[in-house]
Structure 1
Amino acid sequence: MADALVSAPVAASAGVVAAALIVVASKKVARIKRDDILPLMGVMGAFVFAAQMINFSIPGTGSSGHMIGGVLLAALLGPWAAFITIASVLIIQCLIFADGGLMALGCNLINMGAMSCLVAWPLVYRPIAGKTFRKGRVFLASVAACVVDLELGALLVTGETELSGITSLPPSEFLLFMLPIHLAIGLCEGVATGAVLCFVGSYKPDMLYEADHVAASSKSGKMTGRTKTVIGVFAALALVMAVSFTWIASSDPDGLEWSISRLTGSTELAPAVTPATAIMPDYDSTFAGVLGGLIVVALLWGFCSILFRKAQSRKNAEKL
């Protein structure tokens, strides 16, 4: 979402909710006992950052979409680590690349992060996928969860815009455009997510997050060679996408911009305000993807390292 859609009260309310979710997620992540969690969060953060830069065209619409990646992250990391990861991606996109409004950041964290990691994954993906790996169920769960995630996000954007009351967008007509186009985007993301998770599950099934798998990995103590291979594959894919995004990304407006243009004739309601921290607005460099991915990795690594150190210090203090 851009700032032009959001009023100050709605932005403040969403910001408080998003901040509270980050606090809760941080406490949950600090308790995770997986040796692979920190490198996996970093690499997957870079992968999702790069994937979100590549808009794919929706045939016959003149619109495009991009992956959110929350369901994929939650399946590999668990919901709370996934939320921290996607929050890091969205924050870096906003502050460094002016992608998404600064005032609308709280809304974007809820619409894209919470809806995918904390709603669609536990309520849709997990029940369908089940507790044992089966390709068909994982693929179906991925498609269903991504569709629900995108539709909930579209519904929230429409509701937040209407509550803000600073645009002339008619809510019923806005929703009429938002839901179908995001259904198409959700189906595309679901297919891509299902394909990736089926690959990971075929190679190393216990990487697909389940509570008993986390307990097992906490006892094993070390990352296996297969885990390192999966991490290496995602790192390589992130690098390829980060370098090639300028050549393969669609120039068509995304689902939100397309919906706005259908109602107003323009993809923007007001000139975008670039944050002072933005060093590459609109990813205006061939190296933007690589730089962004590295910043996401550094942010996640530093932030989570602090969380884990504090958690360990508390345990040591309790022993004394």
Structure 2
Amino acid sequence: MHMADALLSPAVGGVMWVAAAGTLAYSATKLSKGDSEDLNNPKSVSFDKKIPLMGVLGAFVFASQMINFTIPGTGSSGHIGGGILLASLLGPEAGFLTIASVLVIQCLFFADGGLLALGCNMINMGFFACFIGFPFIYKKILKNGFTPTKIMIASIVSVVISLQLGAFGVVCETMLSGVTELPFSTFVVLMQPIHLAIGLVEGVLTGCVLIFIYNAKPELLVGYDGSTVKENVSVKKVALVLVVVAALIGGGLSLFASANPDGLEWSIQKVTGSTELDRSSGVSDALGSVQESTAFLPDYAFKSDSENTAGTTVSGIVGSAITLGLAALIGFGASKVKKGSNHNSQKHA
């Protein structure tokens, strides 16, 4: 559901950039001050211990998004968003910062999603999941205790609703941008059902990952109630498993991704006959030039690789590694600021 710049006016893209920047600033501030309620649960793993996991999960989501799964009977495909998965393990603030890291790297280095549309993509794929789906749906379902069945139900319902909000956000953003090629009523009727199907698949996949972690190290789950403790498994072991899986997905399984257009492209194609719109402005053209200069593997492929096999493999591994580093760096930065603030507070006490 990565939006392209052609779907937006500069005004709408700019407003969404401001909204995304505000959410990033809010999230970073909450983490640096240690004010995140979800990371101050004494029964769960502390944020400092989760910092490596922040990077690993970013890499895992990056790699997983490279695998488009076919939606039977539609000619469309989908991929996971990852917002609920990240928020359920890191909390909404760290989860949003992590998904934002994934989107920035996809945009700048792989030309996946427009630069003007980056703010929209952060809100549609990150904000709705981390700050609406997670606290108001996922946590509510699990408030009276964790079981594998409840984790699966919470994952499916929260992912579906978050993705529905994100899909509706795309429709509203194109409407406000004056994209007359995509009439609101027609576009929304196509976008919502196809993303319902995608959300159901992502919800099940998210539930499977979270159930694995619950069985291995339940303290990693935000809101963990302390009813089950397995001291024999460390955070490092869970992180190592996720790193290996991310490498396998990005470096190998991504080659078998569905070639069908994703839900957004499919919806556009149903209305216009093409998966892309031919619209531009001075702002989008300028930002497009910037993106062309930074994207060393556009569309996850080498320009000289007609089969796209080597480029896809390299993109999966390199992109996952860069995401791991950036997300972990953000986490370490927030932790450093938090420790510095605590030290200064003690000095003045």
- What TM bracket, shorter-length normalisation? over 0.9
Asked if the contact 2:61–2:102 (Cα under 8 Å) also holds between the matched residues in 1, the reply is yes
C-alpha separation in 2, matches of 1:198 and 1:267? 36
2:332 aligned partner = 305
Structure 1 segment 1-320 matched on structure 2, within 5 A: 1-30=3-32, 31=34, 33-210=46-223, 225-270=233-278, 273=288, 275=291, 276-284=293-301, 285=311, 286-320=313-347
Task: Return the offset for 1:211.
Answer: 7.3
- Give runs of ≥4 in structure 1 deviating > 6 Å: none
33-42 or 178-187, which moves further after superposition? 33-42
- Which residues of structure 1 form unaligned runs of 5+? 218-222
Name the CA distance, whole Å, in 1 between partners of 2:89 and 2:328. 17
For residues 144 and 99 of structure 2, what CA distance do their matches in structure 1 show?
A: 24
- Shifted more, 269-278 versus 96-105: the winner is 269-278
Q: Distance in 2 between matches of 1:74 and 1:131?
A: 18
3-state SS of 1:35 partner: helix
What residue is the counterpart of 1:220 in the other structure?
A: none
TM-score (norm 2): 0.85
2:146 and 2:224 in contact (8 A); partners too = no
Point out the more displaced range, 103-112 or 28-37: 28-37
Alpha-carbon shift at residue 212 of structure 1 (Å): 6.7
Q: Which shifted more, 131-140 or 303-312? A: 303-312
Cα distance in structure 1, aligned partners of 2:319 and 2:144: 35
CA deviations on 1:279-299 (whole Å, 9 max, x unpaired) are 110010121111111111111
Distance 1:17 1:107 in 2: 9
Q: Is the 8 A contact 2:102 2:323 kept in 1?
A: yes
| Identical columns (%) | 47
Deviation at 1:54, TM superposition (A): 0.5
**Matched length:** 312
Once superposed, what is the RMSD of the aligned Cα atoms? 1.8
Distance 2:224 2:209 in 1: 21
> Which ranges of structure 2 fall in alignment gaps of 5 or more residues?
40-45, 280-284, 302-310
Shift of residue 316, structure 1, vs aligned partner: 1.9
Instruction: Give the TM-score of the pair, scaled to structure 1.
Output: 0.93
Residues 76, 209 of structure 1: 8 Å contact kept: yes
Distance apart, 1:307 and its partner CA: 2.3
Alpha-carbon offset, residue 246 of structure 1 = 4.0
Give how far 1:207 is off: 1.3
